[in-house]
Structure 1
Amino acid sequence: MSIARRRLSPEASRDAALDAARDLLIEAGPQAVTLKAVATRIGRTHANLLHHFGSASGLQKALAERMATTITATIGAAVLRVRDGDHDPREIVDLTFDAFDREGAGALASWMILSGNDDALDPILDAIHALVDRLGHENALSGMPLADETLQLVLMALGDALLGGAMAKALRLPRERARELAVRSLIAVRDEARPC
């Protein structure tokens, strides 16, 4: 008895592929995000995914774009809550570090750079730039310019995602130390910038 394959709209098929790609990224790393693996995961053909993404690098770029949009929206909302005094700056640090580590953005970005697919980073960089523009350049959490604060936090989160566990272990530090340092940096600069 054969099971009829459910027809999906082009948008639903693309969304299902990106969901599967994200799951593969988190489960097995960026090298697992291939057209064949994603097609198998969603019960579609390789040709179907070629139609939607053109290549594995096209799939990875679409995944990076989707992740960047979702992540920057979440972080942007958290920044506004912290500015309003509703939340601790640690929320922003945790969201940023989680995006690069647990959500796989750090591994995906590194994989794309190492495989020579630098232009696939454009959606990530564009989303971060748009977030900084949307939030404005005033009222950064730390008192330093928002672009500087963003650069520092993103680089710390990326570095932590790639090497943080090994470095913390080698230095006999708690795994969360980089996050603590990032929060401390935001708060220290903000406190220095406050008028007496």
Structure 2
Amino acid sequence: MSIRKRLSPEESRTAALEAARALLIETGPQSVTLKAVAGRIGRTHANLLHHFGSASGLQKALAKDLASSICAKIADAVIASRSGIGTPRDVVDLTFDAFDKEGAGALASWMLLSGNEDALDPIVDAIHDLVVELNEFGSEHLRDSTLALTLMALGDALLGGPLSASLELPRTAARDRAEAMLLGSIDQAGTLAPEG
């Protein structure tokens, strides 16, 4: 007879999101189901249904969790870059890795294709909040750069490998282009920043 450790509702939810994130990275978004996550953490389908309401609720919670943690890392990288500790390439790599290696691109695409119309809300909201937090001068350049960088990272996660290969470009071509764009935007914004 196995005895399961009793978890608080928050601990159960956190364990479920960690398991869902691992499944996403290991086997893709189609594997992020209530049954698979429940099996991974030794809980019942009903237990997860109670916490998330449905598989799409679980996926939306996962998207929110991913977006929050990724945007926090990106914010730290932007702040480090501004203080001369990090580089714009760090920001590019974190953004591209979030959509590719951490599965955010595949998850967002899967949710949209599954008919979850508000699937991208947590990701869009987290990116909006990040821009508001970092946009000390109200710069349109930061909003434009964020839009372009996010779309480039999403596209690269979904099609970057085969497309760069077919165009006989290095696999890092999109990241290299995003870095050049970001550096150009930083230079342009620097010339437009209000004088203090």
Q: CA deviation at 1:59?
A: 0.2
Distance 1:39 1:89, change over 3 A: same
Q: TM-score, normalised by structure 2?
A: 0.93
Q: CA deviation at 1:69?
A: 0.6
Distance 1:137 1:9, change over 3 A: same
- Stretches of structure 1 that go unaligned for 5 or more consecutive residues are none
* Structure 2 match to 1:66: 65
8 A contact 2:96–2:153 mirrored in 1: yes
Distance 1:126 1:139, change over 3 A: closer
Q: CA deviation at 1:18?
A: 0.4
Which residue of 138, 161, 164 maps to 2:157?
161
AA of the residue aligned to 2:15: A
* Structure 2 match to 1:178: 174
Percent identity (aligned): 65
AA of the residue aligned to 1:11: E
Whole-Å separation in 1 of the counterparts to 2:13 and 2:190: 48
Question: Does structure 1 residue 79 correspond to structure 2 residue 78?
Answer: yes
* Structure 2 match to 1:11: 10
8 A contact 1:96–1:157 mirrored in 2: yes
* Structure 1 match to 2:20: 21
Q: CA deviation at 1:20?
A: 0.4
Whole-Å separation in 2 of the counterparts to 1:194 and 1:48: 52
* Structure 2 match to 1:100: 99
Q: CA deviation at 1:188?
A: 2.8
For residues 89-141 of structure 1, the C-alpha deviation after alignment (integer angstroms, 9 at most, x for no partner) is 1000000000000000000011111111021211111111011111115387x
Distance 1:193 1:50, change over 3 A: closer
Mean Cα deviation higher: 114-123 or 154-163: 114-123
AA of the residue aligned to 2:24: L
Whole-Å separation in 2 of the counterparts to 1:14 and 1:189: 40
For residues 51-84 of structure 1, the C-alpha deviation after alignment (integer angstroms, 9 at most, x for no partner) is 1001000000000011111011110111111111
Q: CA deviation at 1:191?
A: 3.6
Distance 1:174 1:185, change over 3 A: same
AA of the residue aligned to 1:138: F
AA of the residue aligned to 2:18: D
Whole-Å separation in 2 of the counterparts to 1:166 and 1:137: 38
* Structure 2 match to 1:119: 118
* Structure 2 match to 1:40: 39
Q: CA deviation at 1:40?
A: 0.6
- Stretches of structure 2 that go unaligned for 5 or more consecutive residues are 192-196
